[in-house]
Structure 1
Amino acid sequence: MIDITQRRSLFRLGGAGLALAAAGAALDPSRAAAQAAPTSQLRTVLDRGKLIVGTGSTNPPWHFEDDSGKLTGMDIAMARILAKGLFDDETKVDYVRQDPAARIPNITTGKVDIVIQFMTVSPARAQLVAFSRPYYVEGAALMTTPKGKWQTYKDLLAAGKQVRASVLQNVDADILVHNALPEAQVMQLDSQANTFQAITAGRADVAVVDASTVKWLVKKNPGVYTDPGYAYEAQLYSAAMRQGDPDWLHWVDTCFNVAMHGHQPEIYNAAFEEFFGEKPPVQKPGFPPI
């Protein structure tokens, strides 16, 4: 007879917990690798004993250096999740710091095992690389300051032509702003820093930036920036891998699913709260997550 304490411990092993316990077996990464195709990156990574991840270092909250010069950010947390799943050691990662333009070339040439670098999924890119399940839904969002004349999206919308909106210079910048604030005056600026500076200096009433950037800056600087509570134009962030390797792709998807929706959420949940200032939705037993 299995008591309730044993039963809970077995549940943490997943669906195979009872069978494994009865047989006295243990999960062994080297045995698991033997089940992957000999040419799979999964087998290569396990045999090597470390994961090689392509990422950046200059874009908080996704990938940046902390005060000690160590890489951190949500992308780095996703890499740690994979290392934990591969080796039961989240530190077994080598990071290749790369320009965003090198993301696809470094995958196709085999310089990295996987790219985790706030990479937006698109049908065109999916012709070149294989994307994992999404780990974040990005979007555009509005950001104001505590001193601003209009503090909510409703107020900004009602103010119409009086509103001056700063945005990073881009061919579609006017469209991006007007999809949220149809009558706003658009100020296209040459850097993201100048976009933020425009609202703190009072030259603009609102900035249009990535939703994750709003969450990060409001969390770090609550007396400097505020969130009017409006995000739009969703896009997906995923990890990217070489095409034609279903074992590797399926394993990465499985690892992300367990971290985001299953019984090993510690790294993902802690990073989400640290970098976005909020807790992810609680996963309830029952119907599978979307």
Structure 2
Amino acid sequence: MTEEAKPGDETEARRGAGLERRSLLSLGIAGAAAASLATANGAKAQATGDSKLYAIKDRGRLIVGTGSTNPPWHFQDANGDLAGMDIDMARLLAKGLFDDPEAVEFVIQGSDARIPSLITDKVDIVVQWMTVTPGRAQQVEFTIPYYREGVGLMLLADSQYADFAALRAAGSTITVGGMQNVFLEDWIRKALPEARIDAYDSPDATIQALNARRVDATLSDQSAIRWMMQQAPGRFADSGYGWLPNSYASAVKPGDPTWLNWVNTVYKEAMMGVDFDLFAASYKKWFGVDLEVPKVGFPGEFA
């Protein structure tokens, strides 16, 4: 200790050194945090830039996986062109991307190819009456649903049974037809536990049985019933009861929130915003349903 040093200076010096070390440590932690945040933001920006949304914009067209044999969702019209609700939804996306509903390339595929075509990047999105299930949601990311499907009963318009209540009251005296599958009996029994059941090998054969009055009603998807009523006005009627609800949505490859969020934005604003008129026109065309105009003012989802 020098002559100038005073008692206690050594303690103060040690304390000052400790404070300095803590300050430097704090600066180091803050710097590391800032660097980490910058890295995360950079990665986020990079991920956003790498989104399929921007790749599609650069390409100049949207590639959509869909089908061609299931009206009113996707089928070939009298001119051989693809038509249906799914096709309209795909064209809505193309309109949002390029202001051109025709800027879309359709890849026709079977239902079993929907997930593989996404995972292998063969298509940008699948718009193909795809039912949302927990199992599928582990392999793809679903958009918000654009239709709520279910099964129902189609009658002849001049049937002796006016509606579902009349069918149910008839008990075991009625016969319901449906396309053969392992679930047919269970599905019908959920609504009509006493009805007799006839199974057919195709939807056309089921309709023929109804037209020939070999069955009193047929089990069909609600969308198919609405489509048939559109195609043959005055011939068929909906019993007025639907069950076994499920949701139809589009699907995208997992891991691209930018692309998924953009598609969801388009769908939501079609159902209740700027493109509602287009969406409502599709519903009217394919299902014969007049959608109620969303309330103006407070957003409908919070009403």
**TM-score for the superposition, normalised by structure 1:** 0.86
SS in 2 for 1:213: helix
Residue 191 of structure 2 is aligned to residue 191 of structure 1? no
Q: Is the Cα–Cα contact under 8 Å of residues 36 and 43 in structure 1 kept in the other structure?
A: no
For residue 217 of structure 1, what is the amino acid of its counterpart? M
Determine the C-alpha separation between the residues in 2 that align with 1:87 and 1:121: 28
Report the equivalent of 1:173. 184
Which residue of the other structure, out of 56, 81, 85, is the alignment partner of 2:67? 56
Of residues 176, 193, 197, the one that matches 1:182 is: 193
Displacement of 1:287? 3.9
Count of residues in Structure 1 that have an aligned counterpart in Structure 2: 257
Query: Which consecutive unaligned segments of at least 5 residues does structure 2 have?
Result: 1-44
1:42 is matched with 53
1:271 and 2:257 matched: no
Is 1:223–2:238 an aligned residue pair? Answer: no
Q: How far did 1:147 drift?
A: 3.6
What secondary structure sits across from 2:300 in the alignment? coil
In the alignment, which residue of structure 2 is the partner of 1:122? Answer: 133
Q: Which runs of 5+ in 1 are unaligned?
A: 1-33
Distance 2:147 2:250 in 1: 10
8 Å CA contact retained: 1:200, 1:224: no
Q: How does 1:142-161 map to 2 (within 5 A)?
A: 142-161=153-172
CA contact (8 A) 1:143 1:214 kept: yes
Matched with 2:76 is: 65
> Quick check: 261-270 or 89-98, which moved more?
261-270
Q: 2:97 aligns with which of 56, 77, 86?
A: 86
Q: Which residue of 1 aligns with 2:37?
A: none
One-letter amino acid of the counterpart of residue 273, structure 2: G
The CA deviation at 1:179 is: 1.0
Q: Deviations over 1:113-163 (max 9, x none)?
A: 000000000000000001000000000011011242212111101001011
- Pairwise CA RMSD: 1.4
Residue 80 of structure 1 and its aligned partner are, at CA, apart by: 0.9
Write the letter of the residue equivalent to 2:103. K
Distance 1:178 1:35 in 2: 54
Correspondent of 1:111 among 106, 122, 147:
122
Question: Which range moved further: 277-286 or 234-243?
Answer: 277-286
Instruction: Give the counterpart letter for 2:67 in structure 1.
Output: G
Which among 238, 257, 281 is matched to residue 249 of structure 2? 238
1:282 corresponding residue in structure 2: 293
Match among 68, 88, 100 for residue 77 of structure 1: 88
Residue 36 to residue 277, structure 1, CA distance change in 2 (3 Å):
farther
Q: Distance in 2 between matches of 1:227 and 1:278?
A: 13
Find the structure with the greater CA-based Rg. Answer: 2
Q: What is the rounded CA distance, in whole Å, between the counterparts of 2:286 and 2:293 in structure 1?
A: 18
Q: What amino acid sits opposite 2:142 in the alignment?
A: F
SS at match of 1:226: strand
Question: Which amino acid in structure 2 is aligned with residue 280 of structure 1?
Answer: L
Q: TM-score, normalised by structure 2?
A: 0.82
Helix, strand or coil at the partner of 1:37? helix
Q: Which has a greater percent of helix?
A: 2
Q: Match for residue 7 of structure 1?
A: none
**2-side partners of 1:219 and 1:230: how far apart?**
18
